[in-house]
Amino acid sequence: MRKLPGVHVPHRKNTATQPAQRLPIPPEVRIPMAMHIGAPAKVTVSAGDEVKVGQLIGEAAGFVSSPVHSSVSGKVKAIEEQDAATGDKGTFVVIETDGLQTPADGITPPTVTSMEDFIAAARDSGIVGLGGAGFPTAVKLTVKDVSAVEYIIINGAECEPYITSDTRTMIDDAEALWEGVRLIHRFFDARAIYVAVEDNKPEAIKRLGAIAEREPIAQLRPLPSVYPQGGEKVLIYNLTGRIVPEGKLPLDVGCIVINCTTLAALAKYIATGMPLVEKRVTVDGSAVKNPMNLIAPIGTPISALLEHCSVPTEPGKDGVGKILLGGPMMGVAVPDASAPIKKSTNAVTVLNERDARVPEPSACIRCGNCVTHCPLGLMTVDIQSTYLAGKIEFIGVYRPNLCMECGCCTFSCPARRPLTQYMKLAKAALRDYEAAQKAQKEKGGAA
């Protein structure tokens, strides 16, 4: 079977051999209520309340939502509406920590003897996709017809440069990860369970391979190190040969894809009853002289992580050009280091001024690199030109909604054109156009 294309990015896995250090508890955390796809959690505490680690501070506000728990013990300082790192407005619970990390009352392991119990545990844990997507895990595992699930893929590809937080999960929390595999094997009668790891992670492959050999309930599948190997649609095709159609989910082709850290966290919750309150985060990048993997409470300001790694916390200072939540291919730039880490934060990447500089684009030379390297075979150059020409009504022909914004087109473009940004703009323009067409049709029908 032919593998999907992509690009060969520099690995720069500088922290792959470093177990995570635990960050000192910061004086204050700012915990967002929107750390997942779907409706933001609804705040359940008030300013002045005393809270403990694992206490519910935000309840799920719908089926596609996720509860939020306090990551520290201390006092609620404020409930604030602030700008999130993405530029959207969001609600934050600001907690002044006491440094004691006192667990909340009633933290006990859930009873899990049925599929219903398993889904309830996933929901109550507050766990979402921890590889960056943020999709509520309970929703992903809620399947009407379990027999329709033929393949379950545990995603340990971690294909972006610098990031090794998932790698350390597969090494340091291998037993917890495999306990998650046992749970999946117990509650899903899938044809196969694959643990997918890129072949540039030999220690993780060795560690998981030893467990798989003595307990072969899942197959360890090393894959070539080609970005974006960890994309859901890419993994599904490369492992099963199945194509997820536009507008469909992996489940529509009989697959479920779960990030390895997500599954390990779920297994830990079922074993201890402590919900998701902390994250392992890689701090690295061309402006980081002392890269590390750190474990920090959710809501910790990025500045605390950077200071621990002796990195300046302001862009433009001492060679710091840009601070990203995530990796250099798909990460989101933040204006300053006051932004908090979220459930889905797997890395803070700090680029020097040279690497952060946006190159001056030149005219498209029609080389086709963007098309050749797109893992989904999209006609990126035609989507760009159609958008720039203002012919929004024709963009849908090129199916831009399939784009996962991986950045392969921009990375491979010799003219240095910001193709990924054009893809985002084209998708937004198409969405607005289709909404306007629908509204006009409904208005005409009503008349």
Mean pLDDT on 158-170: 97
Q: Is the pLDDT of residue 259 over 70?
A: yes
Antiparallel, parallel or unpaired: β 332-334 and 320-325: antiparallel
3-state secondary structure the chain: CCCCCCECCCCCCCCCCCCCEECCCCCEEEEECCCCCCCCCEECCCCCCEECECCEEEECCCCCCCCEECCCCEEEEEEEEEECCCCCEEEEEEEEECCCCCECCCCCCCCCCCHHHHHHHHHHCCCECCCCCCCEHHHHHCCCCHHHCCEEEEEECCCCCCCCHHHHHHHHCHHHHHHHHHHHHHHCCCCEEEEEEECCCHHHHHHHHHHHHHCCCCEEEEECCCECCCCHHHHHHHHHCCCCCCCCCHHHHCEEEEEHHHHHHHHHHHHHCCCCCEEEEEEECCCCCCCEEEEEECCCEHHHHHHHCCCCCCCCCCCEEEEEEECCCCCEEECCCCCECCCCCCEEEEEEHHHHCCCCCCCCCCCCHHHHHCCCCCCHHHHHHHHHCCCHHHHHHHCHHHCCCCCHHHHHCCCCCCHHHHHHHHHHHHHHHHHHHHHHHHHHHHC
Flag the least confident range among 126-135, 178-187, 209-218, 232-241: 126-135
Q: What is the pLDDT of residues 72-82, one digit of tens each?
A: 999 999 999 98
Residue percentage of the chain with pLDDT more than 70 = 98
Q: How much is the pTM?
A: 0.94
Confidence of residue 53 (pLDDT cuts 50, 70, 90): very high
Q: Give the chain's mean pLDDT.
A: 94
pLDDT confidence of residue 133 = 77
Higher-confidence residue: 43 or 441? Answer: 43
Q: Is the pLDDT of residue 275 over 80?
A: yes
> Which pair of tokens denotes residue 167?
């790698």
Q: Is the pLDDT of residue 300 over 70?
A: yes
Write down the domain spans for the chain.
Answer: 115-272, 369-446
Antiparallel, parallel or unpaired: β 151-156 and 42-43: unpaired
Q: Is the pLDDT of residue 307 over 90?
A: yes
Comparing CA positions, the residue from 271, 109, 264 lying closest to residue 176 is: 264
Mean pLDDT on 327-346: 93
Strand partners, 351: 322
pLDDT confidence of residue 2 = 60
pLDDT confidence of residue 91 = 95
pLDDT confidence of residue 5 = 84
pLDDT confidence of residue 292 = 97
pLDDT confidence of residue 249 = 92
> Which pair of tokens denotes residue 157?
């590809």
Q: What is the pLDDT of residues 347-391, one digit of tens each?
A: 999 999 999 998 999 999 999 999 999 999 999 999 999 999 999
Residue 318 CB neighbours (<10 A): 11
pLDDT confidence of residue 335 = 86
Residue percentage of the chain with pLDDT more than 90 = 89
pLDDT confidence of residue 82 = 81
pLDDT confidence of residue 319 = 80
115-272 classified as CATH 2.60.40.1220: no
Mean pLDDT on 325-333: 94
